[in-house]
Structure 1
Amino acid sequence: MNDVQDSVVKIVESLLESANRGDVVVTLDAPLHGDEGLGLDSLQTAELSAILEDEFGTDPFSEGVVPDTVGEIAGFYASRSTAPA
């Protein structure tokens, strides 16, 4: 896992821990929504968007990108210069 992927996974894990769902395994292939995935609801998705913007200066959701997986979020940042080194 590269630095961007690791950062995104840690952010999602932290979000789930704050929702008392720290037992959920976060992988790059994990869908963000639905019973088969991480099960984020709309409020948690909005919170994730805000956390990502605080961390990276932008977020995929406000850029009009609607990622389906954790890996798609990481890919968004990997393709931008705002990604951490």
Structure 2
Amino acid sequence: MTDLQGSILALIQSLLERSDKADITVALDTPIHGDGLGLDSLETAELSAMLEDEFGTDPFGEGLMPETVAEIVAFYSSAGESGASVPA
């Protein structure tokens, strides 16, 4: 696991703990909504804000609608590859 992946997984786990969903296991293939993390629209907005606070941008704010944790990681991985600075 990369530092970036670990940072994103820890951030999501923190959100789940505050939402009384600490028993949910977070993995790269975990869906963000439904039977995965089960985030509602308010929790998704909170995740978006947390990602932006941590990394300076977020996939939701860029008009993307990631369906899995891996898609969030891929967003930041591709930003790093394109030369944009993404703190880990």
Shorter-normalised TM range: over 0.9
Superposed counterparts of 1:1-85, under 5 Å? 1-34=1-34, 36-80=35-79, 81-85=84-88
Structure with more relative contact order (C-alpha pairs < 8 Å, separation 6 or more): 1
Specify every segment of 5 or more residues in structure 1 that has no aligned partner in the other structure, as ranges: none
Aligned residues: 84
User: Identity over aligned residues, as a percent?
Assistant: 60
CA contact (8 A) 1:16 1:24 kept: yes
Deviations 1:42-80 (A, max 9, x none): 000000000000000000001011100011101100111
| Large movers: runs of 4+ above 4 Å | none
TM-score by length of structure 1 reads 0.94
Specify every segment of 5 or more residues in structure 2 that has no aligned partner in the other structure, as ranges: none
TM-score by length of structure 2 reads 0.91
Aligned-residue Cα RMSD (Å) equals 0.9
